[in-house]
Amino acid sequence: MTDPIALSVQSAAPEEAKRILRDIVSVYEARKKADPLAFFKPSSEGQRRFVMSQAFGRVTLTGNSAGKSWVAGEECACWLLNRHPYRKVPMNAHGWVGCPNEQTQKDVQQKAVLRYIPESRIARRIYTGADVLDCIYLLCNRCNTKPREKQGKAHSQWLCPGCGDEVPYLGFRTYKQEIQAWQAMRLDFGWLDEEPPQSHFKELLARFFGRPLAGWWLTYTPVLALPWIRIALIESPDDDRKQVIRWNTQDNQALSLADLKQMERDFPDENERRLRFKGEYVMQEGLIFKMWRAESNEVNALPDSMLIPAKLPGGKVRLKQDLEIWCGIDTGANFAAVFVARGTAGRLMKCSASRRRRTSGRRR
């Protein structure tokens, strides 16, 4: 069947066709602004499995830029707006978003959630700092009514004047906060972005006691490779209490081929690509400087003006004695060494090398 809009554009004069397209775009943008949740479509099979999962806890083990934060933000909006397409959620749900620090909260988690919540549904924003949210309250999903604040001894409540229910609430927490900041509230859902300390994870689970419709989800790339997550969540069998969902960066249909090629150039090391693209736990040991260049990192390859030639064939080449030599070594759990040569005129000439051995984790 022929699309009448496409047919009208094809048959119209160029200026008239431009006007029709502008009108279509303006209508589309207005509808998307009024109801952004209706325009969400999974960009990968992994995202589709995530939104359809019925498990109490969901763990998404993915690569960087795989779309895990966007689908997790959309999930928060589904709970807050009481519009989940695949599971029953509380009428006016309360939830938390946990992340490493306030900067990532501001740059990633806040944007991911607010992207799918219409401005007209937000009743109140409370900030802890410049553009850093402490929490948001929404209109009552049952009455579509703006809440009123009721002061309490422990904390204030925002209640719907129509039905008296507490309105939807989303609070933000960071892993840098003391464990006390993760206590004292009962929640319906929680989103943890990137690897949390085990103590904070357990404290979040304690918020769900007595909430039969509760759920949580963890989205991360195993950069820190925290052992407790791997043992307790990844290597344990999946059931209705926990499901691990994996997908790769390449599965994200929103990324162009140019984006993927640039990421491959940024991470030439094979282990790093497995970690960054596939979300795999990999061993990180050996040279930190994967970008080693002989002309700048090996003494023999330095300019002749800096060197004393070997006296015998195959002998050692030495740096000239008029160079100031500095060497600093970190002798902590992870060994690192940096060697620097600086000329008497003050010009800095550096030769750097570093080795260390770890059982797992990321480069520092």
Using one digit for the tens of pLDDT, what is the confidence trace for 229-268?
Answer: 999 999 999 999 999 999 999 888 888 889 888 888 888 8
- Residue 295: pLDDT band (50, 70, 90) is low
Q: What does the angle CA 258 – CA 264 – CA 267 come to, to the nearest 5 degrees?
A: 145
CATH topology of domain 39-278: Rossmann fold (3.40.50)
Give the domain ranges of the chain: 1-34, 39-278, 286-356
From the CB of residue 32, how many other CB atoms can be counted at a distance below 10 Å? 13
Reduced to 3 states, what is the DSSP secondary structure of residue 66? coil
User: What local confidence, expressed as pLDDT, does residue 225 receive?
Assistant: 86
pTM for the full predicted model: 0.73
- Beta strands per DSSP E along 228-321: 242-247, 286-287, 307-308, 318-319
What pLDDT does 121 receive? 95
| Signed CA dihedral, 170, 209, 147, 178: sign only | negative
pLDDT, residue 351, reads 53
Q: Is the C-alpha dihedral spanning 230, 236, 242, 245 positive or negative?
A: positive
State pLDDT tens for residues 190-211: 999 999 999 999 999 999 999 9
Residue 35 CB burial class (10 angstroms; 0-12, 13-18, ≥19): middle
